[in-house]
Structure 1
């Protein structure tokens, strides 16, 4: 099966964490960046995400991004801000509202592209799962954690394998 080239939204927390040590956070973050690049996928960034990357990147991530730019594998996008508006208008829980507004641009960019986010921020992921109940369009977004999901991510970016429901931004029923 031919490998489809995807546009992935990679949170700045992965850029910050992708150092050169073998610590699980560092090596997992580095591995996801390498998987994206080595399998000819693209990284998509909105202006806010690009700014976050420039402010928080590790030396490894800075070199990685320069390589992606040189290979024309960086895609700049300008998605709308529907997610932030939805959160401000519909979410009453102040903690969930604060967590999700901070990363609403990731959701908007993912909806604009191939609906894949790589981030180690489980608090944001859980907030968006809570929001997804009344903002159904985000149910189709896949959210990978570079540390916990490392093996699956590496297989996925090589083969575009089937993605189980637990990676999507929605409540998964146990049973």
Structure 2
């Protein structure tokens, strides 16, 4: 049996979790179902909650209501430390990319260091940031589409997670 985790789930997954069989929709829906069906929680800071409210699909709305009914929402107020790390360590366009999702990193560090997001560009920027900010290397970042099998397996059985799913740049090690 897997541990019960608090997972940071980006609003892009809430938006794309429709009822079609398109890979983006079905992958996002499968991730939400894996969280719910395996006893995990969704961790939400106020910023993430507002994004979900603005962007969620009908499926995500019903899913979130069921999670609220099951008391599986972990409301968090993490310290906003990632913004300073971003501004001090990144340059140009990468700053804007990272600032948009800094709350995901702050939230993940507050709970179980698991992020589900389909934003691979932000992920790569945070991997680069991990070169100088070692605390980010503990975070597992899963893409609901590309990493569908590994994230589902992890949420079901708490199995081994290969290094490539952590926020680690190619030149660093865990």
**Root-mean-square deviation (CA), in Å?**
0.8
Shift of 1:170: 0.6
Question: For 1:81, what is the secondary structure of its paired residue?
Answer: coil
Alignment match of 2:131 (pick from 125, 130, 133): 133
Shift of 1:104: 0.3
Q: Segments of 4+ in structure 1 off by > 6 A?
A: none
Distance in 2, matches of 1:85 and 1:104, equals 10
Aligned to 2:10: 11
- Equivalent residue runs for 1:74-153 within 5 Å: 74-91=73-90, 93-153=91-151
Distance in 2, matches of 1:116 and 1:47, equals 18
Distance in 2, matches of 1:131 and 1:16, equals 27
Distance in 1, matches of 2:109 and 2:63, equals 24
Count how many residue pairs are aligned between Structure 1 and Structure 2: 171
TM-score, normalised to structure 2, is 0.96
Question: For 2:42, what is the secondary structure of its paired residue?
Answer: strand
Q: Does 1:158 align with 2:156?
A: yes
